[in-house]
Amino acid sequence: MNKKVSLKDIAKAVGVSTALVSYVLNNKEKEARVGKQIAEVIRKKAAELNYQPNQIAKSLKSGKSFTIGLIVADISNPFFANIARTIEDEAKKNNYTVIFGSSDENAEKSQDLMDVLIKRQVDGFIIAPTEHTEAQINYLNASNIPFVLIDRYFPEIKTNYVITDNFKAAYQATSHLINNGYKRIAMIAYKSNLIHMQERIKGYTMAIKDHKVKSVKPLLFEVAYDHAELEIQKQIESLINGGQTIDALFFATNTLSIYGLKFLNNKRLKIPDDVAIVCFDEGDAFDFFYCPLTYVKQPLIEVARQAVKILVNQISHPKQDETQVLLDSDLIIRESSRKTK
Amino acid sequence: MNKKVSLKDIAKAVGVSTALVSYVLNNKEKEARVGKQIAEVIRKKAAELNYQPNQIAKSLKSGKSFTIGLIVADISNPFFANIARTIEDEAKKNNYTVIFGSSDENAEKSQDLMDVLIKRQVDGFIIAPTEHTEAQINYLNASNIPFVLIDRYFPEIKTNYVITDNFKAAYQATSHLINNGYKRIAMIAYKSNLIHMQERIKGYTMAIKDHKVKSVKPLLFEVAYDHAELEIQKQIESLINGGQTIDALFFATNTLSIYGLKFLNNKRLKIPDDVAIVCFDEGDAFDFFYCPLTYVKQPLIEVARQAVKILVNQISHPKQDETQVLLDSDLIIRESSRKTK
């Protein structure tokens, strides 16, 4: 048997780009503005070489676009940039291409993106939904467009989702601080109704209550997404100046951690001697912080893998029951939350 | 005069999502799978409220999709994640939505993305091209599809581009190290034929030659993109063990900097006493490094702004001459490259 003839082989034989050959053999030469004559030459050469269209080309005829639309909350956040990258890699293994956009935690932008991607006939969506997008999610459901939510979901809407157990992660993180002897533990979180943030806050609050240490009270500070850095600075400043001494800080996200740690550095507060730290998520930034930081490590790759798996499965076999996956995080314990002396 | 009636107002009045109203009023109800009856109700309500379609809706009829396709080299790199974010913001100001993908410095993936986005009828592209994609760029040119290259370009192909002056930036950075008394300055770069990397290497080499300090010779180490971290470790290790003492390191990108700095930390080499450092680009990571780092600050926002401006202009007025923009970077001088004693 001869080696299978590829688009590249035809391109080489004709002396044009693989792209050109692809358009012609997928009968898309008109929209790709390929000249009639060159299309003819390519078709002849393909026949001559006994070219067999591959799985993807065949499936295009079946109406599938083999494209996944990914909407993340903020692509400049390393958490989402890494999820995007992993979803691309996983999708590629399934012959899917991912096109994505960032909603910037803004419902209107999310809507724009969804419109654009639906019109461009993606086969399905992976979405980290932002606040006030329930109508958009309901619309996808009503339209039978396959989708999987990640990172966040809406408890009142039946959907596929892959999330991590945020309550448990925050409960563990806070309990760890209490067990290591910290008594005035503050949490800095986003002001948000989104479930992942609410669960993290609940986990923190519940751990404080459950441990019944008399002097430990919840000290929760919620900052607005749009002015997070400034509000964190104000909160920490007032904590220090107000004489309301804290001995530990739990940051609800990686961005909040970076803002907070920068400000603690400015104020020359030493970690963990002046204040212990637990963060959510990782980041290159943390690797350079002078004190190794304790953090909640979410199973990013597993979230991406499962989301792609569920979506691809649902695209091929619609009308299944929803698949809902809850994954555990790991608490990586390091120097920033060491036992008090 | 009454306030302008929006899609949202109609959605509210009918009790459906804005998405639904948008599909119907853009005559896309069929592809969006909206029921006939509900479409009728929405159209009646729109007429009743005297709805005037906005610019975007009008322009849809003109055949434009008001969508930009963005192909970056690696979305998990903060440099590209931030460019993507800024391009989104700039595009939004021009009523464009951006859908993007990451080529992962892989020509085949770049081709896949381009195919997908062309089929999805983006109005134009912004591309940070990867190696061996000349054919793809030629194809866009031949097909009269508007596009702008950023960060990198191909000198032999006539295109729009917005880049920074990489030669000048590297020349300045290296000269700064020489002027501050360093004599054994090594550069760590990627093994790549891409122009931005070649220009950075040239700038470094030329600065060393021009300064004619007898003991200063170029010490260039090129690492492969796919195994960069491991190769950097090997290079630094061999520099230390081989007795080939260096007194300064110039990293050609932010990712290379992070890998290198981590390894220098592991080896307990002190900056700048054991080795001085100049990096390319910024990153949250650098803010937490114990020694404030000298770095080349590229004008990210300006690159994004100009790229969107040129593209939008070209979409509206095709067949113009190419616009080529070369922007200057700033060398931000800090502690990591201070004068030798």
**What is the pLDDT at residue A61?**
46
User: pLDDT tens for residues B53-82?
Assistant: 543 344 444 567 889 999 999 888 888 988
What share of chain B in percent tops pLDDT 70? 92
Tell whether B64 lies on the interface with A, counting CB pairs under 8 A: no
The DSSP secondary structure of A175-233, one letter per residue, reads HHHHHTT--SEEEEEE----HHHHHHHHHHHHHHHHT--TT---EEEEE-GGGHHHHHH
Does residue A138 surpass a pLDDT of 50?
yes
CA–CA distance, B283 with A285 (Å, rounded to integer): 8
Query: What does the mean pLDDT of chain A come to?
Result: 88
Does residue B252 surpass a pLDDT of 60?
yes
**What is the pLDDT at residue A207?**
95
**What is the pLDDT at residue B217?**
76
Facing B98 at nearest CB: one of A88, A101, A138: A101
Chain A hits for B20, Cβ within 8 Å:
139
| Mean pLDDT across B7-22 | 81
Tell me the residues of chain A between 19 and 58 that have a Cβ less than 8 Å away from chain B: 19-20, 22-23, 28, 31-34
Q: Which phi and psi (to 5°) does residue A228 adopt?
A: -60, -45
CA–CA distance, B65 with A112 (Å, rounded to integer): 12
**Are A116 and B100 within 8 A, CB to CB?**
no
In 3-state terms, what secondary structure has residue A77?
coil
Tell whether B102 lies on the interface with A, counting CB pairs under 8 A: yes
Facing A102 at nearest CB: one of B69, B88, B143: B88
Q: Are B310 and B148 in contact (CB under 8 A)?
A: yes
Using a 10 angstrom Cβ sphere, with 0-12 exposed, 13-18 middle and 19 or more buried, the burial of residue B218 is middle
The pLDDT-based confidence of B124 (bands split at 50, 70, 90) is very high
**Are B119 and A31 within 8 A, CB to CB?**
yes
B282 to chain A: closest CA residue: A285
Is pLDDT larger for residue A117 or for residue B3? A117
Q: Which two tokens stand for residue A90?
A: 């996983």
Dihedral over Cα of A124, A126, A132, A137: its sign: positive
**Are A31 and B81 within 8 A, CB to CB?**
no
Tell whether B271 lies on the interface with A, counting CB pairs under 8 A: no
Facing A120 at nearest CB: one of B85, B120, B283: B120
Least Cα distance to B218 among B197, B189, B257 occurs for: B189
Does residue B136 surpass a pLDDT of 90?
yes
| Mean pLDDT across B240-248 | 79
Compute the nearest-CA separation of B217 from chain A (Å). 31
Residue A27 gets the label, from left (phi > 0), alpha (psi -120 to 50) or beta, of: left
Which residue ranges form the domains of chain B, and what is each CATH number? 7-61 (1.10.260.40), 67-163+300-328 (3.40.50.2300), 166-298+331-337 (3.40.50.2300)
Tell me the residues of chain A between 284 and 303 that have a Cβ less than 8 Å away from chain B: 284-290
Does residue B289 surpass a pLDDT of 50?
yes
Compute the nearest-CA separation of B315 from chain A (Å). 16
A283 to chain B: closest CA residue: B285
**What is the pLDDT at residue A65?**
81
Facing A84 at nearest CB: one of B75, B82, B113: B75
Crossing angle (nearest 10°) for helices A228-241 and A254-266: 50
**Omega cis (within 30) before A146:** no
**Are B284 and A285 within 8 A, CB to CB?**
yes
The pLDDT-based confidence of A215 (bands split at 50, 70, 90) is low
Tell whether B135 lies on the interface with A, counting CB pairs under 8 A: yes
Tell whether B91 lies on the interface with A, counting CB pairs under 8 A: no
**Are B101 and A104 within 8 A, CB to CB?**
no
Strand partners, A162: A150, A325
**Which range scores top for mean pLDDT: A119-123, B50-54, B198-202?**
B198-202
Chain A and chain B share a number of CB contacts under 8 A equal to 167
**Are B78 and A76 within 8 A, CB to CB?**
yes
Is pLDDT larger for residue B341 or for residue A209? A209
Mutation site for B-interface testing, chosen from A6, A110, A112 by largest number of B Cβ within 10 Å: A112
**What is the pLDDT at residue B285?**
80
**Are B100 and A100 within 8 A, CB to CB?**
yes
In 3-state terms, what secondary structure has residue A95?
coil
**What is the pLDDT at residue A176?**
97
What share of chain B in percent tops pLDDT 90? 60
| Mean pLDDT across A194-202 | 96
SS3 labels along chain B: CCCCCCHHHHHHHHCCCHHHHHHHHCCCCCCCCCCHHHHHHHHHHHHHCCCCCCHHHHHHHCCCCCEEEEEECCCCCHHHHHHHHHHHHHHHHCCCEEEEEECCCCHHHHHHHHHHHHHCCCCEEEECCCCCCHHHHHHHHHCCCCEEEECCCCCCCCCEEEEECHHHHHHHHHHHHHHCCCCCEEEEEECCCCHHHHHHHHHHHHHHHHHCCCCCCCEEEEECHHHHHHHHHHHHHHHHHCCCCCCEEEECCHHHHHHHHHHHHHCCCCCCCCCEEEEECCCHHHHCCCCCCEEEECCHHHHHHHHHHHHHHHHHCCCCCCCEEEECCEEECCHHHCCCC
Tell whether A88 lies on the interface with B, counting CB pairs under 8 A: yes
Residue B103, amino acid: S
Chain A hits for B144, Cβ within 8 Å:
33
Tell whether A139 lies on the interface with B, counting CB pairs under 8 A: yes
Q: Which phi and psi (to 5°) does residue A169 adopt?
A: -60, -45
A215-219, B31-35, B129-133: which range is least confident on average? Answer: B31-35
**Are A28 and B119 within 8 A, CB to CB?**
yes
Tell whether A59 lies on the interface with B, counting CB pairs under 8 A: no
User: What dihedral angle (degrees, nearest 10) is formed by the CA atoms of A149, A153, A159, A162?
Assistant: 50
The pLDDT-based confidence of A103 (bands split at 50, 70, 90) is very high
**Are B288 and A283 within 8 A, CB to CB?**
no
Q: Which phi and psi (to 5°) does residue B196 adopt?
A: -65, -35
Tell whether A123 lies on the interface with B, counting CB pairs under 8 A: no
**Are A286 and B288 within 8 A, CB to CB?**
yes
Contacts with B262 (C-beta within 8 Å, 6 or more apart), sequence order = A287, A288
| Mean pLDDT across A306-334 | 93
| Mean pLDDT across A39-48 | 81
**Are B139 and A20 within 8 A, CB to CB?**
yes
